[in-house]
Amino acid sequence: MAASDSLPMNSAGPSAGNDDNSEEQNLLKTKAELKIRDEGYAWVVLGAMFSTNLIMFGYNRSFGILATAMLDAYPDSSGITISLIVGLLSGCRNLFAPVIGTMSNKFGLRRSLFFGSTLYFVALVASFFCTTMTQLGFTLGAMIGFSQGIIQCCQVILVPQYFEKKLSLANGIRVASSPLGGLLFPFLISFLIEFYSLRSTLLLFGAISAHIFIFSLLMRPIKKQMKIKAIEKTDQIFKEIYYEKNNEGQLFIPNANNADNEVINSTEWTRVKTTSDVNIKKLLFEEITLKNGHLLKKRPQKKLEFKFFKNFHYITYLLLAASVPWGLNLVIYYMVIYAQTSVGLTSYEVSIMLGFESVCDFIVRLFIGWFNNKNFIPKSYSLLICLWISAAGKFFVPFATNLVTLIILTFVCTVAGASYVTSLTVMLVEDFGREHITTTWGFVRMTSGIFSFINSLIIGYILDWTGSFTVPFFVMGAGTFFCGSIIGIQILVKKLSSSEDRT
């Protein structure tokens, strides 16, 4: 029911009549808009995501240190068992992305976040009691991977709901916490392992991860936030319509029963609120909710949508996801091996290179988010440029002979991955809509997870077969160049389609 038909609006008080209510209607029309996206509590939600990812991916980027400690602490450990844990961690986080996203929409984002954060905490605490690498594979691999998948899917669904005009910037800030965690947590993990034991470190890290549960409480669903803002707006408009302020900013009721404009003190205001016509506020609330219904129109679908597999543009995204592991995921890992075995860098020099990589990754992600948000050029153009620049850098890695050259190439190679993770979600939202992000992002993530297993095995086999780093880095460079070419095909197809539409 519209307010113009049913609200007994009156500037003289809740109980008095007044036929001329145009001023009240104008007030409702101009002030009923709820500002939820791109401001206010949206930044609180983003801060909670940033803090969550700082802890979550700090663990992932510190896993090499944990793996070294596992080899010393567990007699049944080996390179294969470590690889198994890494595979389970990556696989459970990526392979189930479409199903996790759908279930999160069905049961609610907040419930899913609670479950994911609880599972993460339980996995780390349970690792304290593990006595074999098989048990650690289940806790540190499968359980943590699955919990990270839940939390990450919920974030990808929630960010486009809270941000629209500043979506690129917000997503850049969200993903920038991953390299920052990689910069901070290795030092913490190394300190804990040195002064305590591996098991105690896992237990203490479990206590740190419990903060994710607190951050999940702050990631309020958009429907809940809209209801809270509508209640606040109802009280605000109700006061402005039915009460006035004197020169000192004090409330009073301007009606015949209050001819002297007697000021209402805090106690009396509480009494007025509790004895006023509740139906008026209810109607105000309903009208405000109705006027802001567009905020809930594009909420994510609760089921998977396979229609996108018939869309050529979406197929190119799947092809991109299958190609990304060739060049983006493994380059830093192999650069470290190359730096130690072929160039002869010390562990200290390698740590400098890795620290520089984390700093560059953090800065580039923030910069790409800001740059894309300014719309200087289309996001696909900037991603294409970053991919091809990074591809050129990978071709030169086998010719690096010192720390300075490797640091420069580390920066060049980092650009592609930073641009990809910063731009992908935003591009999917813009191309297919925020209401379909569960499906579009989920299957892209799943495809990337599948080919991460395959491509890593192939690159490792090429290294063993050739005995040289030249061919693997050339393959990774060619893979990155191919990723850029896929983006180029997207750009070309869009231009051809737009020209056909104009004609």
Rg of the chain over Cα atoms, rounded to whole angstroms, equals 28
- Determine contact, residues 328/416, Cβ cutoff 8 Å: yes
pLDDT surpassing 70 at residue 12: no
pLDDT per residue over 122-144, tens digit each?
A: 999 999 998 888 888 889 888 99
Nearest to 231 by CA among 266, 164, 272, 278: 278
The neighbour count for residue 194, using CB atoms within 10 Å, is 10
Enter the CATH code of domain 304-497.
1.20.1250.20
Domain map (residue ranges) of the chain: 29-220, 304-497
pLDDT per residue over 379-423, tens digit each?
A: 999 999 999 999 999 999 999 889 899 999 999 999 999 999 999
Enter the CATH code of domain 29-220.
1.20.1250.20
Q: Between these two residues, 185 and 287, which has the higher pLDDT value?
A: 185
pLDDT surpassing 50 at residue 6: no
pLDDT score, position 383 = 94
Classified as helix, coil or strand, 423 is helix
pLDDT score, position 27 = 57
Does the fold of domain 304-497 match that of domain 29-220? yes
Overall average pLDDT of the 55-64 stretch: 83
pLDDT score, position 242 = 59
Lowest-confidence region among 67-81, 201-215, 298-312, 471-485: 67-81
Confidence category of residue 285, pLDDT binned at 50, 70, 90? confident
Lowest-confidence region among 18-27, 30-39, 107-116, 232-241: 18-27
pLDDT surpassing 90 at residue 365: yes
Confidence category of residue 319, pLDDT binned at 50, 70, 90? very high
The structure tokens 């599948």 sit at 450
pLDDT per residue over 23-49, tens digit each?
A: 555 555 556 677 888 888 999 999 999
Q: Between these two residues, 246 and 233, which has the higher pLDDT value?
A: 233
Backbone torsions φ then ψ of 259, nearest 5 degrees: -60, -30
Structure tokens at 97: 């992305």
pLDDT score, position 314 = 93
Q: Which residues pair with 245 in a beta bridge?
A: 251
Round to whole Å and give the CA distance between 485 and 316. Answer: 10
